[in-house]
Chains A and B, each alone.
Chain A
């Protein structure tokens, strides 16, 4: 008698699995990565490689130590590594970066149970960890280096220079700063490696939206409401959007499945909360930025949003 494999319905599956989702995110991160390397040189590329290797290595190591099955095949550690690199200054000292990555993977992700169980976005946590440990280095932004120049090939650590654009955000009222928008859009300006080029971020973000990997609710409400708040707060709205980590955070970090709400209205609320928090931090805080903090704070609200906002059950009569 011919024997058959048994399976439980549904007997067919969509092709997209977690590994493929992560691969798509990696592809989407390529434009900001390329922009970062183009503007800041080899040092930026080395930083990215170091971050990816230390995240993957940390995940492999800790799971081995905890006698758990290796999970590096799901590629989520690669994503964390890339994002961490892209939100750091290109000249961040290597050893500090490694410490940050190990913190992100071991403490923020694996200590909470690994992929899917972490409450906070690992990359954002790494950035905040490094900011509190070595603030002088996390705020040491370099000016873009001419492509293929001698400087472009330089690989030395942490050359400090002032952070020109972010400090000036408070001075960028509606009428000012429009001359810098072109530079900000293309990314030819000092800043974190992957955050400067709004153009590259949009390329990656549109790719993620078009392939259905991320949904539009979070970036749309976050960015849309941010523009509104910028206008209300008398900021140059384009400057407000393109300077700093807002664009990158909205597309690549706030949309992290694990740490963001799972329903439509939950995501809308999440995006709105991010916009308000970012505005409050930028307007009233002593920090120039606020995107990663906003994301981490809203991450903390995600379980609450998930339990408050549920889809309407078909055929359920409102009580």
Chain B
């Protein structure tokens, strides 16, 4: 019997992977692409093109301006119409390059580099130039993670996709296994590690089987992890696979681990081997749309266009979520562009009348919290303004906002919201 790798607590939401067997299709090229210069964690990129300038697909249009930042490339061939603040999925207006497509060009990239001739440093540099960020949704610049200030002995590739609905990573693993594996090998070389695991939840047996076959005799091991949310959260996955616990307030590199998403590994392959910067990604468009699909989408494509390609909204659709339903963000409009961190777009029905009750101390939130916190305390502490106590006594900063507590709470207490409020207050006060 295979050992099942798992973590304590967590929840089992209904998975609703409607698109698990729909092959990835190329979405239509947008007539106008709106490409924000900040689609990642860290500082925005600086524009390096000007209005009326012609750009081609894959051309650098925004240059990384700080250590934690990422380059931005054009996803279409066309003419820059304007460079101005435009609404983005987060609700924030971000300086964006608006490009009118003149030519619907889909380059067929061919291998231009031989991985054996590249040093680790060269690989990291190509990744940085190509504007690759964490494709799992967090959007942390990948090259920064590949220059860890501490020794690393293990690379973990995250193929869990534990969020309900999303299937982009799953499809990518089934359709591009060789590319992903090459990407992983490049990442291993960049980090100079010998040990590498790829964690896949056991609800994707086809992907597990495929990778086990492909990786036979190679130093990359497939780890079948238990299907449970939030298995794919960095700290949780590290614990499941290596048994190591990232210390409170620490990073994976504190326990000698770097985690990268399968989508990121694929993007690394494309960038390093094919010389193709990150200008498109797989987006699962699902939920209350008529034809849910996995689409390969150019960054900057308006979300409304993707919905149209999926047959439009169903009657009940009243909310639109970018990302997964557990941690994603609600969009105020579909007239915003797809960005590098758009893992999925989920149309959901309106909230049924949410009846809130007082907390009954049932302890469910504690039973499901993967971080071992007492979530029920945070709404109380927030209301009373006891922010320091939340940090010192109840480790609020250890919360990764996975949402398990609020998902299960029978009294419908807005726990995650109060945690976010406490965190932002603490950050503002500058105390950690």
What residues on A are CB-neighbors of B248 within 8 Å? Answer: 313-317
Are A117 and B358 in contact, CB atoms less than 8 angstroms apart?
yes
User: A150 near B: Cβ within 8 Å?
Assistant: no
Are B371 and A14 in contact, CB atoms less than 8 angstroms apart?
no
**Nearest neighbor of A214 in chain B, beta-carbon distance:** B362
Contact of A310 among B313, B321, B374, B406 (CB under 8 A): B374
User: B212 near A: Cβ within 8 Å?
Assistant: no
Are B250 and A10 in contact, CB atoms less than 8 angstroms apart?
no
What residues on A are CB-neighbors of B362 within 8 Å? Answer: 21, 257, 262
A9-B328, A18-B410, A315-B235 known, 9 other contacts, Cβ within 8 Å: A5-B351, A8-B416, A9-B327, A10-B416, A257-B361, A262-B361, A315-B246, A315-B398, A317-B247
Are A115 and B376 in contact, CB atoms less than 8 angstroms apart?
no
Are A8 and B417 in contact, CB atoms less than 8 angstroms apart?
yes
Q: Which of B313-350 contact A (CB under 8 A)?
A: 313, 318-321, 325-335, 346, 348, 350
What residues on A are CB-neighbors of B332 within 8 Å? Answer: 3-4, 6
Are B328 and A315 in contact, CB atoms less than 8 angstroms apart?
no
Are A10 and B403 in contact, CB atoms less than 8 angstroms apart?
yes
Q: Known contacts A8-B417, A262-B363, A262-B376: does B334 contact A2 (CB below 8 Å)?
A: yes
Q: Which of B336-388 contact A (CB under 8 A)?
A: 346, 348, 350-351, 354-355, 357-363, 366-367, 369-374, 376
What residues on A are CB-neighbors of B374 within 8 Å? Answer: 262, 310-311
Contact of B330 among A1, A6, A261 (CB under 8 A): A6
Q: How far is the CA of A1 from the CA of B304 in the complex (A)?
A: 10
Q: Known contacts A21-B362, A314-B398: does B406 contact A11 (CB below 8 Å)?
A: no
A-B contact count (CB 8 A): 159
Q: Which of B13, B334, B355, B358 has the most CB of A within 10 A?
A: B358
Q: How far is the CA of A76 from the CA of B335 in the complex (A)?
A: 46
Q: How far is the CA of A6 from the CA of B351 in the complex (A)?
A: 10
Give the number of residues in B that approach A within 8 Å (Cβ atoms): 64
What residues on A are CB-neighbors of B398 within 8 Å? Answer: 313-316
Contact with B along A235-268 (1 / 0, CB 8 A): 0000000000000000000000110111110000
User: A312 near B: Cβ within 8 Å?
Assistant: yes
Contact with B along A115-157 (1 / 0, CB 8 A): 1110000000000000000000000000000000000000000
What residues on B are CB-neighbors of A74 within 8 Å? Answer: 357
What residues on A are CB-neighbors of B328 within 8 Å? Answer: 9, 11
Q: Known contacts A1-B335, A116-B359: does B417 contact A313 (CB below 8 Å)?
A: no
Binding site for B on A (CB under 8 A): 1-14, 16-21, 73-74, 76, 114-117, 215, 257-258, 260-264, 310-317
Q: How far is the CA of A315 from the CA of B417 in the complex (A)?
A: 23
Q: How far is the CA of A10 from the CA of B13 in the complex (A)?
A: 11
What are 10 residue pairs bridging A and B, where the CB atoms are less than 8 Å apart in the complex?
Answer: A4-B333, A20-B410, A74-B357, A116-B361, A116-B411, A215-B363, A262-B363, A314-B248, A314-B370, A315-B371
User: B153 near A: Cβ within 8 Å?
Assistant: no
**Nearest neighbor of A307 in chain B, beta-carbon distance:** B393
B37 to chain A, nearest CB (A): 24
What residues on B are CB-neighbors of A264 within 8 Å? Answer: 367
Are A2 and B333 in contact, CB atoms less than 8 angstroms apart?
yes
Contact of B372 among A9, A21, A260, A313 (CB under 8 A): A313
User: B115 near A: Cβ within 8 Å?
Assistant: no
User: B309 near A: Cβ within 8 Å?
Assistant: no
Contact with A along B396-420 (1 / 0, CB 8 A): 0010010100111011101011001
A1 to chain B, nearest CB (A): 6
Are B319 and A7 in contact, CB atoms less than 8 angstroms apart?
yes
Q: How far is the CA of A257 from the CA of B321 in the complex (A)?
A: 34
Q: How far is the CA of A149 from the CA of B321 in the complex (A)?
A: 64
Are A9 and B329 in contact, CB atoms less than 8 angstroms apart?
yes
What residues on B are CB-neighbors of A262 within 8 Å? Answer: 361-363, 366, 374, 376
User: B164 near A: Cβ within 8 Å?
Assistant: yes
What residues on A are CB-neighbors of B304 within 8 Å? Answer: 2
B398 to chain A, nearest CB (A): 6
A113 to chain B, nearest CB (A): 8
Contact of B320 among A4, A313, A317 (CB under 8 A): A4
Q: Known contacts A1-B335, A4-B330, A9-B401: does B355 contact A17 (CB below 8 Å)?
A: yes
Question: Does more than half of chain A's interface fall in helix, strand or loop, or is it mixed?
Answer: loop
Contact with A along B13-41 (1 / 0, CB 8 A): 11000000000000000000000000000
**Nearest neighbor of A212 in chain B, beta-carbon distance:** B364
Q: Which of A7, A12, A263 has the most CB of B within 10 A?
A: A12
Are A7 and B351 in contact, CB atoms less than 8 angstroms apart?
yes
Q: Which of B61-117 contact A (CB under 8 A)?
A: none
User: B395 near A: Cβ within 8 Å?
Assistant: yes
Contact of B250 among A19, A114, A315 (CB under 8 A): A315
User: B181 near A: Cβ within 8 Å?
Assistant: no
Q: How far is the CA of A21 from the CA of B410 in the complex (A)?
A: 8
Are A9 and B326 in contact, CB atoms less than 8 angstroms apart?
yes
Q: How far is the CA of A9 from the CA of B11 in the complex (A)?
A: 15
B297 to chain A, nearest CB (A): 19
What residues on B are CB-neighbors of A7 within 8 Å? Answer: 319, 330, 351
Q: How far is the CA of A21 from the CA of B398 in the complex (A)?
A: 30
B397 to chain A, nearest CB (A): 11
Q: How far is the CA of A165 from the CA of B253 in the complex (A)?
A: 66
Q: Known contacts A5-B351, A310-B374: does B360 contact A11 (CB below 8 Å)?
A: no
User: B179 near A: Cβ within 8 Å?
Assistant: no
What residues on A are CB-neighbors of B325 within 8 Å? Answer: 9-12
User: B291 near A: Cβ within 8 Å?
Assistant: no
User: B202 near A: Cβ within 8 Å?
Assistant: no
Q: How far is the CA of A216 from the CA of B358 in the complex (A)?
A: 24
What residues on A are CB-neighbors of B358 within 8 Å? Answer: 114-117
What residues on A are CB-neighbors of B420 within 8 Å? Answer: 8
**Nearest neighbor of A310 in chain B, beta-carbon distance:** B374
What residues on A are CB-neighbors of B327 within 8 Å? Answer: 9-10
Q: Known contacts A12-B164, A311-B374: does B361 contact A4 (CB below 8 Å)?
A: no
A221 to chain B, nearest CB (A): 16
Contact of B407 among A13, A116, A117, A317 (CB under 8 A): A13
Q: How far is the CA of A313 from the CA of B348 in the complex (A)?
A: 34
What residues on B are CB-neighbors of A76 within 8 Å? Answer: 360
